[in-house]
Amino acid sequence: MKISVIAASSFVWLAAGLLAAQSARAKPTPTLEEELRDVRYGLHLEGGKFSGNGAPVLASTIADARYVLIGEDHLTREIPELADGICGLMGSAGPFTMVVEASPEVATFVATSLGEPDGEKHMAELQRTYPDSVAFLNMRQEYELVQDCAASTHGVGFQLWGLDQPFLGSAGWLLDQILATHPGPNATKVITALKEKEESDAVLAQQTGDPLKLLLVSEDGAELVNARGVLQREGSATARTLLEELIESRDIYLKNLSGHAPESNEQRARMLKRRLSQKLQTVGNAQKILIKFGDSHIYKGVNEIEQRDLGNYVAEVADAAGTTSLHICVRGAKGVHAGYGGYTRPLRHEQFMQIKDDPWMKPVIEGQVESGWTLYDLRKLRFHKMENVSADMQRMIDGYDLLVIIPELTPGEKLE
């Protein structure tokens, strides 16, 4: 009797398995395009307020997250508008910190002018005095975004952090800041000589537009390293930190320029994570954090340049603390890209079609809603077996929670 019961039980399990297999064969694997239709929402932004059936999705995910990360296409008008709307949602819930792709000195400079009517004028003056010393926050749309984000908290508890390396033309500005700390006589002599060399290098760079003539990225940067020892003896902690920033930035740039991009990218990613780790120790666990960087930096996991970058670090920190990180990628379907045009030169403008640049994005571009922006909730696609999923698209699904497609991007403008 026992044997027959076991046999019957085995038959039941076998039959169930066969039925499941037949059912799986009968139901074809859905395509990516089919699945995208079920996770697609319309999104509109007017007067800083979101609407459309994607608005509740965006609002609820932001409310649930301690860390909100925006991975962007740089130097546009539209993406700061999106970030502005997100700041409005975050600010309505209380104070938060904004983290930007700029050096600590740039963030400090901007933070001191929050709410001041002449802030944009001061940024323009800084750029005239020290050309190409600021990345991104010298754009009108980005500068106004920070002002609006600060205002969304009604002036209470807002902080602005910069994590990135000093930009190409920063050497003169930072050397002047070192001199302003009044180091000892030998250090003052060394830094003054460096400043004079920086000024003559800047003249050559301005004549040609070639940033490689600048002190920060010139092949002969031994003077910067030699100044380190003198400041160790005669400089303050602030002076030493400023010099180390220049040295590290130079090292990152030169590795990239000499064909060692992976090493350069890894060093930069480690720097970003180190600086964020130090900053997070200064705020409470309840403080919300908004992070806005280029989209390569914000992936969870390994990004397309094979780095575990800032976004992955934040995701791990959030997991370890029992909180949540929300990763939002923002791309344009087409438009005009603005790019670096050379030292003291205007921005370079270039038309683009996202499908042409990144063919793997064809399903999300062609699947846009008919009007407005399109929001895809990529979280709903994870662990789904789908056809027609490229490796790049799978990386996007695994690395980002939400994807926003803007029909057309237009270039931002510098503060001048």
pLDDT digits (tens, 9 = 90+) for 192-240: 999 999 999 999 999 999 999 999 998 667 888 889 999 999 999 999 9
In the chain, the amino acid numbered 41 is Y
Q: Where are the domains of the chain?
A: 32-166+272-409
Nearest to 206 by CA among 342, 323, 20, 81: 342
Mean local confidence (pLDDT), 383-408 = 95
Q: What is the pLDDT of residue 28?
A: 87
Say whether pLDDT at 6 is over 80: no
Looking at the chain, the whole-number percentage of residues with pLDDT higher than 70 is 93
pLDDT digits (tens, 9 = 90+) for 28-51: 899 999 999 999 999 999 999 999
Please identify which residue in the block is written with the tokens 């003198």: 230
Q: Which two tokens stand for residue 34?
A: 């089919």
Directed axis angle between helix 104-111 and helix 237-257, to 10°? 120
Q: Name the pLDDT band for 286 (thresholds 50, 70, 90).
A: confident
Helix (H) or strand (E) holding 7: helix 2-26
Query: For residues 96 and 156, is the Cβ–Cβ distance under 8 A?
Result: no
Q: What is the pLDDT of residue 154?
A: 83
